[in-house]
Amino acid sequence: MVEESEHTQNPWMSVEESSRVEIDDSASLMTESMMTEEDIKASHPPPPPPPPQPPTSDGQLGVVERAFSAAGAAFLSAILVNPLDVAKTRLQAQAAGVPYSHPLSNVTSRMAFFGPNMMFADLRCSPSCARAGVHGTVSICPPDCFHYKGTLDVFYKIIRQEGFARLWRGTNAGLALAVPTVGIYLPCYDIFCNQLEEFTAQNIPSMTPYAPLIAGSLARSLACTTCYPIELARTRMQAFKEFQTGKKPPGVWKTLIEVVSHVKSPMQNYRVLWTGLGAQLARDVPFSAICWGTLEPIRRRLLSLTGDESNAVTVLGANFSAGFVAGSLAATATCPLDVAKTRRQIEKDPARALRMTTRQTLMEVWRDGGMKGLFTGAGPRVGRAGPSVGIVVSFYEVVKYVLHHHYATS
């Protein structure tokens, strides 16, 4: 035979030695095979895992579905927190010098202007006010009784002097602003954040945690610039008080027309509608950066605790909790910029309004009131921002969650 075994070729090797040689050969072959597989794996490392995403973010949802979710969230938030927005604006406007007592608040001027039989319903005072004078059957307060001392005092005096409905002054402007603004803001944030996280994970992994911060800033800048004239109208509607009883206060379009009517040069009409945009961006861009930079890690951590057992209730709870904390922190940090924004928007002199800058306004606030002036209205602002962000983000994510499961099962 041509092929012969080693035992046949080497008659001096015992059967036991032959078996040991065969076992050693098999072991060496297995070792070489294993090392080859390890070398292949080492030369071709697996791609890095994608960054963790909340269970509610799904690429199947289009811009229309995202915008619908955001608009519903904005509508709900604008109605619920509007009284706190009114209180914040009144406190900041009062600090800027806007008078809230009637221009004819002393008895001599009223008698000379109206006559002895005029009823001054808009000058009514609290029955417990010891400083009130009596004219007929109506208690009349001196001007300093119309000075707001805090958030609850704003609520009380607006209800007493202007009526309960005035706490929702500017709600129509708020809705006209919130629906398109948030309808642009949140969908753009989703799209920007997903693309930035995908890009940074593949090219610059160390920058991936900053993707929410950058995406929030870009999305807010776009939404704010697009809808700014409505924001200008809302601030003016909330800041100024109507002294003529029975007269319907101006709406959004009438307020904007009044802003434009004071400008003599037709070339500046367009520009004056964006008065204070720099201050608005100086407030909103850091607000969004702080808010999303805080919100994303918190909600992802909370959602990771539920794992695969997440449902609409856990999505709502995680997003509302994260949004409440993030909104409160961001509102506190950016309060001085909000004061500057309000001052620029309520400036009635068009020439001065166009000359003012955010830095000059902040310096003016510092000279007038120091640190306390820079944080005027911080209480209602933080009290508004925390629930507002929580409501908007949680409602938006729950609607996305429901739509995602609807598409997944259909």
- Asked if the model's pLDDT at residue 178 lies above 90, the reply is no
Beta-carbon contacts of residue 286 (< 8 Å; ≥ 6 apart): 330, 333, 334, 337
In whole angstroms, how far apart are CA 378 and each of 220, 330, 381? 21, 11, 5
pLDDT tens digit sequence for 223-250? 888 888 888 888 888 887 765 555 666 7
- Asked if the model's pLDDT at residue 111 lies above 60, the reply is no
Is residue 63 assigned to a domain?
no
Mean pLDDT of 110-133: 49
- Asked if the model's pLDDT at residue 201 lies above 80, the reply is yes
As a whole number of angstroms, the distance between CA 29 and CA 34 comes to 9
% of the chain exceeding 70 in pLDDT: 68
- Asked if the model's pLDDT at residue 209 lies above 60, the reply is yes
Tell me 1's DSSP state: -
Strand, helix or coil at 138?
strand
Is residue 149 assigned to a domain?
no
Is residue 107 assigned to a domain?
no
Give me the residue label for tokens 């007493």.
160
Closest CA to 52 of 258, 363, 300: 300
Contact between 283 and 337 under an 8 Å Cβ cutoff? The reply is yes
pLDDT tens digit sequence for 257-313? 887 777 766 666 677 788 778 888 888 899 999 999 999 999 999 988 877 777 888
Cβ-in-10-Å burial (0-12, 13-18, 19+) of 216 comes to buried
As a whole number of angstroms, the distance between CA 87 and CA 89 comes to 6
What is the number of structural domains in the chain?
1
**Beta partners for 124?**
140
pLDDT tens digit sequence for 3-57? 444 444 454 445 445 554 454 555 454 444 444 444 544 555 555 554 444 444 4
CATH number of the CATH domain containing 360: 1.50.40.10
What's the pTM? Answer: 0.68
Is residue 205 assigned to a domain?
yes
Is residue 295 assigned to a domain?
yes
Is residue 57 assigned to a domain?
no
Is residue 159 assigned to a domain?
no
Angle between helices 378-409 and 335-346 (to 10 degrees): 100
As a whole number of angstroms, the distance between CA 290 and CA 385 comes to 13
Determine the structural domain holding residue 392 and report its residue range: 74-98+165-243+251-409
Is residue 312 assigned to a domain?
yes
